[in-house]
Amino acid sequence: MASGSPAAKRVVVYRNGDPFSPGRQLVVTQRRFPTLETFLCEVTLAVRAPVAVRALYTPYGHPVTDLADLQNGGLYVAAGFEHFHKLPYLPPAGKDPGGKSSRLAGLPVTRQLCDGALGRQLPAGSPCYIHVFRNGDLLSPPFSLKLSQAASEDWEAVLKLLKEKVKLQSGAVRKLCTLDGLPLSAREALVSGHYYVAVGEDEFKALPYLELLVPSRSLPRGCWPHQQVVGDPGCCGGRERRKPEPSQEMSQRVEGRRIQPDFTGHLEHQTSSTMTAYNHGSRSVFPPQAQGHRAQASRFSPNEARQIEHSAFYARPQRAIEPRSMLPTLSFPSGTKGVYRAPHPRKETAGAREVADDEDTQTEEPLDQKPILLQGHERSITQIKYNREGDLLFTVAKDPIVNVWYSVNGERLGTYMGHTGAVWCVDADWDTKHVLTGSADNSCRLWDCETGKQLALLKTNSAVRTCGFDFGGNIIMFSTDKQMGYQCFVSFFDLRDPSQIDSNEPYMRIPCNDSKITSAVWGPLGECIIAGHEGGELNQYSAKSGEVLVNVKEHSRQINDIQLSRDMTMFVTASKDNTAKLFDSTTLEHQKTFRTERPVNSAALSPNYDHVVLGGGQEAMDVTTTSTRIGKFEARFFHLAFEEEFGRVKGHFGPINSVAFHPDGKSYSSGGEDGYVRIHYFDPQYFEFEFEA
C-alpha cells in the first residue's frame, strides 16, 4: 500500500514564562515546515517572542526534538535560551493534549463556556446566533448575527457575511476569534450565544470587549469570562455546579498598596491606602482613611475570598448603593463643616495677582516611555538614518530590503526593492526627494523617495560600504571595499550631469592605497569628505581635487561610524578599540574621548544638549554564548564636556550596530544585531537632568 502525505497537525503554542499568554494556533505540515528550525522561526513571529525561539516543550517541561513528535491538538510552550518555566499553561481541569490519551483528530478544544454560561449547544439543523465585536474597537457595541445551518457549512461564506456586517477599517474579515484570541476555522466551533471578535488584516487585539461594551444585566448569570466552573470538564456534556456568588458586602483595609485590574489580567501594585473590588455588579468598598480615624474591616472566610478571586479582576466596574450601616462614619472637630470647608481662609495666596494663560504657550501631550519596536528586517541592522525634518526614518540591514518608517508612531511607509545583497548604507538629501543606498551586490542606487522608483543604478567592482549626498543634494559620493583584487575607491557623481549616470563614469575617483574606508561623511559646506579607515586613520579629502588635506590617527583599530553635529563643526567617531572620540571637523583636532569596555559600533551627538550616545557591545560572533548583562548591549549616554557616563538604556539582545538622534533631540533610535529598530522617547527627567561634575 502506497503511503500518502502526512496529515496536517493543529497545535497551540504558548510563550514561556507568561501565564497570561493566550496561545497561538498553528497548522503544521511537512511541506510548510520541512524542519524543526523553520517551524521555530514561524513560532517566534506567532507568539511575539522578545527573542528567537530555540526550544519547544510540552506544558510539563518535556522537550520536543522533532516535528514528528508533535501531536494533533497538542499544547506546547516556546522558549529561547532560558530554562523552561513550569506554569499553568493548560486550560482549567485539562490534561496535556500532546499525550497519548488525547490525540485529537479535529480542532483543539477552545476555552469557552456553554450550556448556561455564554451560550448553549443547539440541536442539528437549528440556526446559530452569535455576537461579534470589531477587533480593536471599544466604542461600537457588538452586533448579532444569525447563521443558518446551510449558510454556515461554508466557512468562507461566513467570513463574507461578516465582512458585509462588520465593515472593518482594515478591510475584509480574515478570521473569527474567541475572546481569548484563538482563531476558529469551522462551523462546529461556534456556540450559539457566544461572543466573538472579527479580525481583518491586522493582528488580534486582546481588549476587554465584554466588560466594557456589554451591560451586565443583558447577560445571563455567570456569563463573564474566566469564571470558574466546577464539575464536568466538558462544559456541554454533563451536569454543572457553579460557585455561588457572594451574598453580602465585604470590606477590608489594605495598608500601603492598592491592587488594580488591568486588561491582560496582571496585578498592578500602586502605592495607596485603598482598594476597590467588584464582583458581578456587587461592590466591595475599602474605605479610605480620613481625619485620623481608621475604618474597621469586616472579616471573611477563605472560601469567600476564593469565590471573588476571579470576578474581582474581570467584572465590569459599576456604581452600587451601599447600606448606611456599612458606610464609614466620619467625625470632625467642632466648627468644621467638612473636609472641603476649612474654618479659616488660606493665607498662602492672599494678595497674589491672578496670571492669565498665554494663548501662544505650546504644550505637549505626555508620552508613555515604552519604546516603539520596528520589525521589518530579517537580518542584522547595518544603519539607520533620519531625514532632515525627522519625520521619516530609513533603515537598512544585511538583507536586500530598504525600509522607510514614520518616526512618530513606527508605521512603515514603504520599501525600496531592487538590491540583491546586504545593504550597508543609506542617506537622504536635504529636501527628502531622493534616497541613496549602497549594497554588497556591487551597486549604488538612487531612488525617488515618494514613489520608490529606482532613478539610477551605478555598478561597481566591489561592495559599496558608505554613501551620502552633499549639502545641496547635487553631488553624491560612495566608497567601495578593497576585495577580490580590486582597490578601494571614493567616487563622486554630479546628478546634474546625466551623462555621468548613463556612462557610469564619475567626474572624480580617489584611490585608497592603504586600508579601506569603513565610514565616510561630507564635511562642512560640501568642500571635503571625512573618511575613517580600517586601520584607525582619519583622512580629510578635498571634494574638488581629491587630495588628502589632513591625516590623523587617534584610534588603534577600525573606525565603524562617523556622525556630524547639527552645525557640522564637530563629529564623533566610533571604533573597535572600545572608544568614541570627538574631533573638530575642520582641523581634525582631537577634543574628547569616551571609553567603554566593549567595541563601539556607532555614536551620535545630541542636537540640543551636550550629550553623546554610544551603541555597541560584544562581538557579534560571541553573542550566542553571552548573556545580555555580560555582553553590555545597552545604549550608553556620556556628557560631552566631562566625558563621564550618566545613563544606560537596555532593550536589544545583541550588539547595537547603529544609533541616531532625532533632529528635535526628544528621542533617539537604535538598530541592533537582533534585527530590530527601537525608537526611544526621553522622559521629562531627561530634559531636567543637570550633570554634577
Burial of 2 (0-12, 13-18, 19+ CB in 10 A): exposed
Quick check: do 9-102 and 128-227 share a fold? yes
pLDDT at 37 over 60: yes
Cell 533603515, located at residue = 395
Q: 560 with 602: CB under 8 angstroms?
A: yes
CATH of 9-102, one of 3.30.565.10, 3.10.20.230, 3.40.50.10490, 3.90.1580.10: 3.10.20.230
Tally of helices (H runs) and strands (E runs) in the chain: 8, 43
More confident residue, 163 or 524: 524
Predicted confidence at residue 355, as pLDDT, reads 58
Give CA–CA dist 110/88, Å, rounded: 16
**What is the structure's pLDDT at 3?**
46
C-alpha dist (Å) from residue 106 to 11, 73, 661: 11, 7, 53
pLDDT in tens, 353-374: 665 555 554 544 444 457 899 9
Percent of the chain with pLDDT over 90: 39
In angstroms, the Cα distances linking 427 to 91, 205, 468, 520, 560 are 51, 36, 5, 12, 17
**pLDDT per residue as tens digits for the range 500-518:** 999 999 999 999 887 899 9
Q: Residue 71: is its pLDDT beyond 60?
A: yes
| CATH (one of 3.30.830.10, 1.10.3720.10, 3.10.20.230, 3.50.50.60) for 128-227 | 3.10.20.230
pLDDT tens digits, one per residue of 89-117: 755 434 444 333 333 333 333 333 333 33
- pLDDT exceeds 60 at position 175: yes
Dig out the grid coordinates for 523 from the structure.
564635511
Per residue in 38-69, pLDDT (tens digit) is 888 889 888 888 788 889 998 888 889 888 88
| pLDDT band (50, 70, 90) for residue 600 | very high
Name residues whose C-beta falls within 8 Å of residue 453's C-beta, 6 or more positions apart in sequence. Answer: 447
Mean pLDDT of all residues belonging to the chain: 75
Alpha-carbon distance 42 to 44, whole Å? 5
Residues 134 and 177: their CA atoms lie apart, in Å, by: 11
- The Cα–Cα gap between 627 and 173 comes to 42
> Whose grid coordinates read 550616545?
613
- Are 478 and 491 a contacting pair, CB within 8 Å? yes
Residue 559: closest CA among 496, 602, 610: 602
Cα–Cα distance for residue pair 556/244, rounded to 1 Å: 75
Sign of CA dihedral 412, 418, 420, 424: negative
Q: Give the list of residues 6+ apart from residue 351 with CB closer than 8 angstroms, or none.
A: none
Confidence of residue 152 (pLDDT cuts 50, 70, 90): low
Please report the pLDDT score of residue 450 as a whole number.
92
At 405 the pLDDT is 95
The residue to which cell 445571563 is assigned: 220
Phi-psi region of 275 (alpha: psi -120 to 50; beta: other; left: phi over 0): beta
How does strand 195-199 pair with strand 240-242?
unpaired
Burial class (CB in 10 A: 0-12, 13-18, 19+), 339: exposed
Q: What is the pLDDT of residue 124?
A: 55
How does strand 412-416 pair with strand 402-406? antiparallel
465-487 b/e (C-beta count within 10 Å ≥ 16 → b):
bbbbbbeebebbbbbbbbeeeee
pLDDT at residue 533 tops 50: yes
pLDDT tens, 369-391?
578 999 999 999 999 999 999 99
Domain ranges of the chain: 9-102, 128-227, 596-693
β-bridge pairing 537-542 and 528-533: antiparallel
